[in-house]
Chains A and B, each alone.
Chain A
């Protein structure tokens, strides 16, 4: 069935009450294209980045050296997996 819902601050609320048989199951949500934010929309950066911010990035570069390079975007799930792997390495191996 299709149910109209409202998205607000990370939560989706159905516009009419629906009772479910199960606690967990997957659903498909249609998100309007115009509501999806992309990083290109950060247009409000200050005209010049502050010295403090520059210096912070320089320090990170210094710490990581050649390992400070662009990487693909990561989802929360990917970060979780990396965390589980690290925990596994520490406690299970």
Chain B
């Protein structure tokens, strides 16, 4: 997405009708909120007082009474602010603003515009800004052409920059609220986030924590899993899943995956259950939920709890219900690249079980039930308040992003169906496409060629857990999970994020077609 920052004179032209009618409509069109726009419209907060002074002065000159002119100007500014995004002036940038230009207000606009991540232009009747080339400046006549030009940005594997521009005003508001109240760990935003997330998932309890790795450990500890126990899980996942089982003192028992969904194959679980089995921990990989009805049925039969590792699937649906609300405990990660990611590490646990929720809350804070009273052993698993503040801002647009991810995933598959093994999404699932992962035979070569074309890729994951050296003590061997082993040699994830444009997708697909030859 591109950014247009409107200069004072353009807004005055609109309010004071100083341009022909069609130009008035053009300016109004730039400001008015609308769908399918490929840009966001901003006004620098440093422009507001200038706008107010000039508009009031001109209205008074035109015969409007003083108080009426004041109120009318305020109403105009209020209406403007309801439609555009307001660019922040940071105190720490003002010295640089002074050095940049003789005109402090102009420099402030440039500095504020430079804070935006996407391509940015100041729309003005006078190209007087000293932008240093970082920010473009356009007359109204040039806007359409500039908006049509390609952004000429490199293909991003995950585009967090565009997302930041999309939520910047809310983000700044939330972060500054934390800076002001100073409760940096487990502050009020954490509780607010827990309420929002529990409501979103549709469960009674949400426990926000320090990471999506710690949440797995907390869940295992709350279930009392430890030395001598076994936990059934998938080998085709990030290390944290098996690692936390081992760290809790238990043995990860790896069960192979379904070749279509890459999730644990429920048909193989029962054979892996022993008298030492204490839980089943499926992973909802790449953003698609595992087959929870089948898994829960087996768990019920053997009276086992199920922990969903939904680190990649927050926002996904399984038979209409949301990931993390499908089993005894749901766990997710807010690592920055996740569908819902914060600006550091973060995670959350979900359950309808009151006793488990209480245990997990205590374990999160060193096993504490009240200050300095520790009925159980816990960990330092608290969430930083700033991460909660970031997530609250992101939750406001999350469902839109989930919809965009689903649309983009489906579109990719249309493009690639004839030249790649595209993701299979089971009919009962809505994937959030945390990764858009295809299969290719000669992965290393294709990855290298795509890199040369400027298309970043990743292999999730090149070595299944049962073949990792760290797990060799558990005695798994090559060939014990053949589907995972085969997949780990072929899977490749392509750029995926909710802001992927048709043009960028076309670039990726064109590069793919050339790379596989």
Interface check A49, CB cutoff 8 A: yes
Interface check B8, CB cutoff 8 A: yes
On whether the beta carbons of A83 and B57 are closer than 8 Å, the reply is yes
On whether the beta carbons of A67 and B28 are closer than 8 Å, the reply is no
Binary contact track A19-41/B, C-beta < 8 Å → 1, others 0:
00000000000000000010111
Interface check A45, CB cutoff 8 A: yes
Interface size class of A (residues with CB under 8 A): 35 or more
Q: Report Cα–Cα, A40/B26, bound state, in Å.
A: 12
Interface check B320, CB cutoff 8 A: no
Q: Which candidate, B121-129, B396-404, B477-485, is the interface stretch facing chain A?
A: B121-129
Given A37-B139, A63-B76, A86-B53, does the pair A68, B126 have CB atoms closer than 8 Å? no
A61 to chain B, nearest CB (A): 10
Q: Which residue of A lies closest to B24 (CB)?
A: A57
Interface check A74, CB cutoff 8 A: yes
The listed residue with most B CB atoms (<10 A of its CB), out of A10, A59, A73, is A10
Binary contact track A57-93/B, C-beta < 8 Å → 1, others 0:
1011001100111111110100100110111011000
Interface check B54, CB cutoff 8 A: yes
B79 to chain A, nearest CB (A): 5
B474 to chain A, nearest CB (A): 61
Within 8 A of A (CB), among B1-50: 8-9, 12-20, 22-26, 28-29, 31-34, 50
| B50 neighbours in A (Cβ, 8 Å) | 83
Q: Which candidate, B59-67, B236-244, B289-297, is the interface stretch facing chain A?
A: B59-67
Q: Report Cα–Cα, A59/B75, bound state, in Å.
A: 9
Interface check B356, CB cutoff 8 A: no
On whether the beta carbons of A79 and B32 are closer than 8 Å, the reply is no
Interface check B444, CB cutoff 8 A: no
Chain B interface helix/strand/loop/mixed: helix
| A37 neighbours in B (Cβ, 8 Å) | 139, 141
On whether the beta carbons of B72 and A49 are closer than 8 Å, the reply is no
| B19 neighbours in A (Cβ, 8 Å) | 39, 73
Given A9-B127, A76-B125, does the pair A63, B17 have CB atoms closer than 8 Å? no
Interface check A52, CB cutoff 8 A: yes
Q: Report Cα–Cα, A39/B24, bound state, in Å.
A: 11
| B144 neighbours in A (Cβ, 8 Å) | 44
| Cβ 8 A contact of B76, one of A39, A40, A60, A82 | A60
A93 to chain B, nearest CB (A): 12
On whether the beta carbons of B54 and A86 are closer than 8 Å, the reply is yes
B198 to chain A, nearest CB (A): 35
Q: Report Cα–Cα, A86/B20, bound state, in Å.
A: 26
B513 to chain A, nearest CB (A): 34
Interface check B83, CB cutoff 8 A: yes
Q: Which residue of A lies closest to B28 (CB)?
A: A53
Interface check A42, CB cutoff 8 A: yes
On whether the beta carbons of A60 and B8 are closer than 8 Å, the reply is no
On whether the beta carbons of B63 and A85 are closer than 8 Å, the reply is no
On whether the beta carbons of A55 and B32 are closer than 8 Å, the reply is yes
On whether the beta carbons of A67 and B18 are closer than 8 Å, the reply is no
Interface check A17, CB cutoff 8 A: no
Given A50-B29, A63-B75, A67-B59, does the pair A42, B18 have CB atoms closer than 8 Å? no
On whether the beta carbons of B17 and A69 are closer than 8 Å, the reply is yes
Q: Report Cα–Cα, A72/B13, bound state, in Å.
A: 10
Q: Report Cα–Cα, A87/B50, bound state, in Å.
A: 9
| A67 neighbours in B (Cβ, 8 Å) | 59, 62-64, 72
| Cβ 8 A contact of B25, one of A11, A57, A87 | A57
The listed residue with most A CB atoms (<10 A of its CB), out of B17, B62, B83, B125, is B17
| A82 neighbours in B (Cβ, 8 Å) | 53-54, 57-58, 61
Q: Which residue of B lies closest to A68 (CB)?
A: B17
On whether the beta carbons of A50 and B15 are closer than 8 Å, the reply is no
On whether the beta carbons of B25 and A53 are closer than 8 Å, the reply is yes
B77 to chain A, nearest CB (A): 10
| A63 neighbours in B (Cβ, 8 Å) | 72, 75-76, 79
| B20 neighbours in A (Cβ, 8 Å) | 39-40
Q: Report Cα–Cα, A74/B16, bound state, in Å.
A: 10
Interface check B312, CB cutoff 8 A: no
On whether the beta carbons of A53 and B62 are closer than 8 Å, the reply is no
On whether the beta carbons of B57 and A85 are closer than 8 Å, the reply is yes
Q: Report Cα–Cα, A55/B26, bound state, in Å.
A: 13
Interface check B136, CB cutoff 8 A: yes
Interface check B137, CB cutoff 8 A: yes
| B459 neighbours in A (Cβ, 8 Å) | none
Q: Which residue of B lies closest to A90 (CB)?
A: B53
Residues of A within 8 A of B (CB): 9-11, 37, 39-42, 44-46, 49-50, 52-57, 59-60, 63-64, 67-74, 76, 79, 82-83, 85-87, 89-90
In the complex, besides A56-B28, A68-B17, 13 extra interface pairs with C-beta distance below 8 angstroms are A37-B139, A39-B19, A49-B29, A50-B29, A52-B32, A53-B31, A56-B32, A64-B76, A67-B59, A71-B16, A74-B18, A76-B9, A79-B54
A/B interface sample: 27 pairs, CB < 8 A: A9-B136, A9-B137, A10-B126, A39-B19, A39-B20, A39-B23, A39-B140, A42-B23, A44-B144, A45-B26, A45-B29, A52-B29, A52-B32, A53-B32, A54-B25, A59-B79, A60-B14, A60-B15, A63-B75, A64-B59, A64-B72, A71-B18, A74-B12, A83-B53, A83-B57, A86-B54, A86-B57
